[in-house]
């Protein structure tokens, strides 16, 4: 009951002209970013960050969260209509969404996508509201060994769930963790890897790593491989035909399954919308009533990935708000926005009346954001699709500028531009040599927290490292982390054994 009352206050906060305007801008920007060639969800949220510097914390988080939610939906439009997935999240939509559109039912395919995003978004917003405060209460009782175990689990899952080779992902993670050690260490005040350079003494801000590797690195990669100049034809009649209640009723189990998958995958640090979308499609292929027909253009193949992708947003926000641990690129930027405004997300955020009010305003904005996203998606589809014609060379030039301003404005330091240019080149080399970027970025973000919890544990428990295994909670989480690391190896061995047996 108290949660509902708090949520009511949250709605009252969001329904002010400023917050509503910010929410609307976030929704439109999120959809544009998802549709625009050369931009991804994470890059979009990165580029919006400098605009939040002058805002209060509540509208700042509302803006970024709105972009995050809509970023999981906007790319579906181009995937279904033109077979142009905005980003990996939308790839599963190519298998059933695009065939359905080619079978003469593009409006129906778009209608199912819209409904799936709506259902997934609403379910995840509800879970977020109901689960966050109890989880925060549990987190308040955790000690440093448990915190370290949670971070270890997050880093392990980033490595095992990501794309590319696991060894390359581990190398990327190690480099990210190393970057976070540059500067003066928090426990002893010792200088590490600064080489007498004043800029390095202050440490390397993870924001610079993120903006450089994700933003500039992606621009370099696209510049190297060449921009796609074939503008998608937008001449076809565009519209959205929503499914009838009877049709929705027939797919209720798909909706439930995909929402649950989305929220759970979202909560796992390092997973996120892409994994949710693929896993949900896989679950449908394994357990769905019409699994044999998947891939031929049936609604189940659209509803499963889209519902899971959007519902993963609420899941990903839970560890961020309750423990201050971002599990994905987008939530890492939202964490950055919190910190820039002097708010440290974590279990104590619900104990502070002012901050708790802000969190409930963010919850309320999720509900309104999902609704607004669907309304804009329904009515403005023609305008959104026209954005595809925008030349990528112009978009990329502005992306670089926004990355530079975002990096510069955080500390008003021109030498930060050198740092993001360097990480941009590193990001390109990572793409070129197939090293995933996400572990590098998450390593640089979670590195200081991992080190401080590890060092505090060692000091408190007389250098006894077995404490991570012997305490019940940290033991279970550490074991889960080891399972996460071992899982890809087991999969690989099983696949090789199968190939050997077949040959």
Partner 1 sequence: MRRFARAAPYAALAAFTLWLYAVAGRIEYVGPPDRIGPDFWPKAILGLLGLLCAYEIAKHLVFGGPPSVSGVLQTLMEEAVEASAATDDADDAPRAEPSSWRRLAAGVAAMLGYVLAVEPLGFFVATSAFLAGFMRIGGYQRWGVALSVALAGSFAMVVIFMKVVYVSLPLGAGPFRALSIALLAMLGVR
Do residues 387 and 38 touch, judged by C-beta distance below 8 A? no
Minimum CB distance to partner 1 smaller for 278 or for 360: 278
Distance between CA atoms of residues 364 and 372, nearest Å? 12
| Crossing angle (nearest 10°) for helices 353-379 and 2-14 | 60
Yes or no: say if 228 and 392 are a contact pair by the CB < 8 Å rule.
Answer: yes
Between 25 and 248, name the residue whose CB sits nearer to partner 1. 25
Q: Closer CB to partner 1, residue 122 or residue 403?
A: 403
Instruction: Output 492 or 498, the one with its CB closest to partner 1.
Output: 492
User: Which one among 339, 417, 473, 480 touches partner 1, defined by CB under 8 A?
Assistant: 417
DSSP-assigned beta bridge partners for residue 191: 184
Question: Residues in contact with partner 1, total (CB under 8 A)?
Answer: 89
DSSP state of 183: E
- Is the separation of the CB atoms in 156 and 478 below 8 Å? no
Report the Cα 137 to chain-centroid distance in Å.
24
SS3 for 203?
coil
Do residues 314 and 261 make contact, with C-beta atoms less than 8 angstroms apart? Answer: no
Contact 284, 331 (CB under 8 A): no
* Residue 391 backbone zone (phi > 0: left; psi -120 to 50: alpha; other: beta): beta
Asked if residue 120 lies in contact with residue 251, where contact means CB atoms within 8 angstroms, the answer is: no
Span 447-476, contacts to partner 1 by CB under 8 A: 451, 454-455, 458-459, 463
Nearer to partner 1, 161 or 370 (CB): 161
Residues 419-438 that bind partner 1 (CB under 8 A): 421, 424-425, 428, 433, 436
For partner 1, the closer CB: 168 or 311: 168
Please state, in angstroms and rounded to a whole number, the distance separating the CA atoms of residues 367 and 386: 28
**55 or 248, CB closer to partner 1?**
55
Q: Which C-beta is closer to partner 1: that of 73 or that of 95? A: 95
Is residue 161 part of the contact set for partner 1 (CB under 8 A)? yes
Among 138, 380, 397, 483, binds partner 1 (CB under 8 A): 397
3-state secondary structure of 281: helix
Restricting to residues 23-82, name those near partner 1 by CB under 8 A: 50-51, 53-54
Binders of partner 1 in range 277-296 (CB under 8 A): 278-279, 282, 295
Per-residue buried b or exposed e for 36-52, using 16+ beta carbons within 10 Å of the residue's own CB = bbbbbbbbbbbbbbbbb
Nearest to 457 by CA among 443, 474, 442: 474
Helix (H, G, I), strand (E, B) or coil at 404: helix
Among the residue ranges 200-208, 256-264, 274-282, 339-347, the one whose residues contact partner 1 (CB under 8 A) = 274-282
* Helix pair angle (166-179, 144-161), 10° resolution: 140
Binding string, 479-498, against partner 1, x = CB under 8 A? --------xxx-xx------
Helix (H) or strand (E) holding 179: helix 166-179
Structure tokens at 319: 């560890």
Interaction residues for partner 1, span 175-194 (CB under 8 A):
175, 177-178, 181, 185, 187-193
Give the interface segment with partner 1, choosing from 70-78, 130-138, 167-175, 346-354 (CB under 8 A). 167-175
Residue 142 makes contact with partner 1 by CB under 8 A: no
Based on the shown chain and the rule CB under 8 A, indicate whether residue 503 belongs to the binding site for partner 1: no
Single out the residue of 305, 340, 383 nearest to residue 113, CA to CA: 305
User: Which residues inside 229-268 make contact with partner 1, applying CB under 8 A?
Assistant: 229-230
By CB under 8 A, tell whether 214 contacts partner 1: no
Nearer to partner 1, 323 or 407 (CB): 407
- Comparing CB distances to partner 1, the nearer of 287 and 398 is 398
Site for partner 1, residues 351 to 390, rule: CB under 8 A: none
Residue 1 touches partner 1, criterion: CB under 8 A: no
Residue selected from 162, 203, 262, 299 as contacting partner 1 according to rule CB under 8 A: 162
| CA–CA distance, 63 with 60 (Å, rounded to integer) | 5
Nearest CA among 440, 398, 353, 428 for reference residue 47: 398
The secondary element (H helix, E strand) that includes residue 104 is none
Cβ distance to partner 1 smaller for residue 243 or 299: 299
- Point out which span in 15-23, 342-350, 372-380, 413-421 binds partner 1 (CB under 8 A): 413-421
- For the CB of residue 95, give the shortest distance to partner 1 in the complex, in Å: 6
Smallest gap from residue 402 Cβ to partner 1 (A): 8
Q: Which is nearer to partner 1, 187 or 244 (CB)?
A: 187
Residue 379's contacts (CB-CB under 8 Å, 6 or more residues apart) are none
Determine which residue in the list 30, 92, 154, 315 makes contact with partner 1, applying CB under 8 A. 92
Residue 224 binding partner 1, by CB under 8 A? yes
- Residue 209 within binding range of partner 1, rule CB under 8 A: no
């Amino acid at each position: 009951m108290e949660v509902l009352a708090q949520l009511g206050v949250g709605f009252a906060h969001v329904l002010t002209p400023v917050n509503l305007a910010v929410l609307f801008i976030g929704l439109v920007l999120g959809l544009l970013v998802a549709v625009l060639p050369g931009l991804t969800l994470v890059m979009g949220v990165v580029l919006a960050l400098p605009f939040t510097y002058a805002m209060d914390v509540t509208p700042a988080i509302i803006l970024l969260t709105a972009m995050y939610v809509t970023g999981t939906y906007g790319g579906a439009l181009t995937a279904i209509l033109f077979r142009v997935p905005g980003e990996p999240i939308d790839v599963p939509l190519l298998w059933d969404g695009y065939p359905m559109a080619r079978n003469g039912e593009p409006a129906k395919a778009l209608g199912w996508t819209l409904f799936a995003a709506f259902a997934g978004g609403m379910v995840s917003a509800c879970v977020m509201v109901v689960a966050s405060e109890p989880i925060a209460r549990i987190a308040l009782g955790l000690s440093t060994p448990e915190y370290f175990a949670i971070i270890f689990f997050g880093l392990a899952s980033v490595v095992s769930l990501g794309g590319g080779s696991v060894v390359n992902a581990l190398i990327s993670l190690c480099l990210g963790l190393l970057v976070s050690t540059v500067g003066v260490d928090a426990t002893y005040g010792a200088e590490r890897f600064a080489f007498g350079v004043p800029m390095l003494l202050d440490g390397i801000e993870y924001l610079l790593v993120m903006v450089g590797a994700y933003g500039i690195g992606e621009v370099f990669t696209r510049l190297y491989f060449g921009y796609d100049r074939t503008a998608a034809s937008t001449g076809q009649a565009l519209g959205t035909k929503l499914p009838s209640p009877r049709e929705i009723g027939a797919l209720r189990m798909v909706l439930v399954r995909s929402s649950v998958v989305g929220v759970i995958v979202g909560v796992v640090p390092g997973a996120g919308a892409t994994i949710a979308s693929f896993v949900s499609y896989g679950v449908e292929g394994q357990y769905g009533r019409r699994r044999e027909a998947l891939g031929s253009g049936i609604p189940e193949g659209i509803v499963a990935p889209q519902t899971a992708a959007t519902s993963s947003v609420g899941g990903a926000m839970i560890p961020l708000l309750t423990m201050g641990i971002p599990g994905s690129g987008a939530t890492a930027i939202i964490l950055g926005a919190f910190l820039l405004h002097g708010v440290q997300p974590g279990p104590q955020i619900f104990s502070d009346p002012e901050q708790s009010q802000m969190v409930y305003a963010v919850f309320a904005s999720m509900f309104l954001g999902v609704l607004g996203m669907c309304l804009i998606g329904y009515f403005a589809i023609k305008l959104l699709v026209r954005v595809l014609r925008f030349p990528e060379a112009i978009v990329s030039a502005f992306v670089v500028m926004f990355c530079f301003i975002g990096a510069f404005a955080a500390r008003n330091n021109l030498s930060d531009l050198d740092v993001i240019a360097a990480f941009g080149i590193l990001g390109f080399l990572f793409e070129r040599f197939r090293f995933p970027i996400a572990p590098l970025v998450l390593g640089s973000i979670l590195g200081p927290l991992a080190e401080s919890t590890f060092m505090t544990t060692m000091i408190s428990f007389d250098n006894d490292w077995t404490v991570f295994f012997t305490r019940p909670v940290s033991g279970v989480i550490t074991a889960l982390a080891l399972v996460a690391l071992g899982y890809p190896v087991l999969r690989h061995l099983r696949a090789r054994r199968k190939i050997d047996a077949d040959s």
